[in-house]
Structure 1
Amino acid sequence: MSTVIWVAVVVAAVVAIIAVGYFVLQQQRRHRLRDRFGPEYERTVQERDTRREAEQELTAREQRVNSLDIRPLDSETREAYAKKWMEVQERFVDAPGFAVTEADQLVTSVMAERGYPTEDFEQRLSDLSVVHGRTLGHYRQAHEISSRAAHQEASTEELRQAMVHYRALFEELLADSGGAVTGDQPPRHAADAGHQEPINDDERAARRDAQGR
């Protein structure tokens, strides 16, 4: 076999190895981004023209958040926020719309305390997606209901759901600090927080009747 043929074979082999290596690295990055961003990965892919463009954006989000001074809350601050949440939830009984507004403000306050910029809602979503991508859908839904509530366009049941959605992210923001949401109890997700959800109309009426006796 001539030298030219040997060189061609070697070059082809090197190119093939590089191509396989590149493919493997791309797949590893894709799996890592999927694991990190959860449902936000597919959402971003659907919103962008190509998967590559979406993955570049998600990587840029990681780099941005890594440059921020995201810090944990100390135990005293976590307990104070947990107490505020319980107070807001109790106010839902008589003023559900006001309570939802307070819940939104409380979540934003915790974000700021943790070191997240809070000026722009879309930027908040982008930054939160890096660590809290699996609960970001809750935040979007809560914000959408809260916006409609400001124009008196949300039902009481929708407001109750908004509280549940806000709580999902609120719990993660507190639990991500390494502590529990309330006292020594482990952090809970919205799915298993049923016994602490805001009460519905029937329960509210029953309480008022009891107070009137």
Structure 2
Amino acid sequence: MSTAIWVVIAVAVIAVLVAAGYLAQSRARTQRLRRRFGPEYDRAVRSEGGRAAAERELRSRERRHEELELRDLDPRKREQYQEQWVRVQERFVDSPEAAVEEADRLVTVVMGERGYPTDKFEDKVAHLSVEHGRTMDHYRRAHTISGKTASGQASTEDLRQAMVHYRALFEELLAAPGGERTGRHAAQDPAREAPAEAPPAATGTGAAGTGAAAGRRDDETPRR
């Protein structure tokens, strides 16, 4: 064969190798993003109108996330926040709307304590999704119900679900370094709870009410 033909063959082989390398790299990137963001990956594909645009958005979140100065909670702070959450759950029995509002505020406070932005909701979701992508659906649902609460459109069942959803993210944010959970919820993973489950609540107030809450399983349902 002539030199020209060999050149054409060589160029074709190089093009095939380059295409194969690009495809392998693209697949590896997709798999990495799927593992890291979980359900957020598919949500991004739907909202951005395609895989390429979604992956650009998710990589942008990763770059912004790297600029944050995140920190673990001090064990004493972690315990204080856990105690505050118990009090919020106890309040649900008598005032579910107020309890949901307090749950939202407490989750936001813990976000700030960890070093996450706490201004706009979508910004919070974007930053949190890099490490907590599997609980963002919980957070979005809780946020939606909170909006209904403000306009008086949330039912008691809606409010119970909001508490479950807020607790999913709250527990992840409070997790000790290495992912270990501490305190009275350590044996539970609320992010895996079915939406029909509800948060615990005390049957009274003061020392007696607190003791009742401490001895109760976390999946018991407060009812009005």
- TM-score normalized with structure 2 length: 0.85
- Indicate conservation of the 8 Å contact 1:79/1:183, yes or no: no
Counterpart of 1:199, as a letter, is T
Cα offset for 1:51?
A: 1.3
* 2:185–2:218 Cα contact (<8 Å) kept: no
What is the identity, as a one-letter code, of the residue corresponding to 1:68?
Answer: L
Structure 1 residue runs of 4 or more that deviate by more than 6 Å after TM superposition: none
Aligned counterpart, 1:33? 33
Residue 196 of structure 1 corresponds to 218
Question: d(CA) in 2 for partners of 1:134 and 1:176?
Answer: 18
Q: For residue 141 of structure 1, what is the aligned residue in structure 2?
A: 141
Correspondence 1:166 to 2:172: no
Further displaced range: 183-192 or 132-141: 183-192
Give the aligned partner of residue 182 of structure 1: 183
CA distance in 1, matches of 2:33, 2:19: 21
* Equivalent residue number for residue 99 of structure 2: 99
CA distance in 1, matches of 2:154, 2:129: 26
Distance, in Å, in 1 between the alignment partners of 2:12 and 2:125 is: 46
Q: How does 1:114-129 map to 2 (within 5 A)?
A: 114-129=114-129
Between the two proteins, the alignment pairs up a number of residues equal to: 202
Q: TM-score, normalised by structure 1?
A: 0.89
| Secondary structure at 1:133 match in 2 | helix
Q: Which amino acid aligns with 2:51?
A: R
- The equivalent of 2:113 in structure 1 is 113
Uncovered stretches (5+) of structure 2, i.e. residues with no partner: 199-216
User: Could you tell me how far 1:70 is from its partner in structure 2?
Assistant: 1.2
Offset at residue 186 of structure 1 (A): 4.2
Aligned-partner residue type, residue 166 of structure 1: Y
Percent of counterpart pairs with the same letter? 51
Q: Any idea what SS the aligned residue of 2:134 has?
A: coil
The alpha-carbon deviation at position 177 of structure 1 amounts to 3.8
On the 8 A contact 1:73/1:174 being kept in 2, the answer is yes
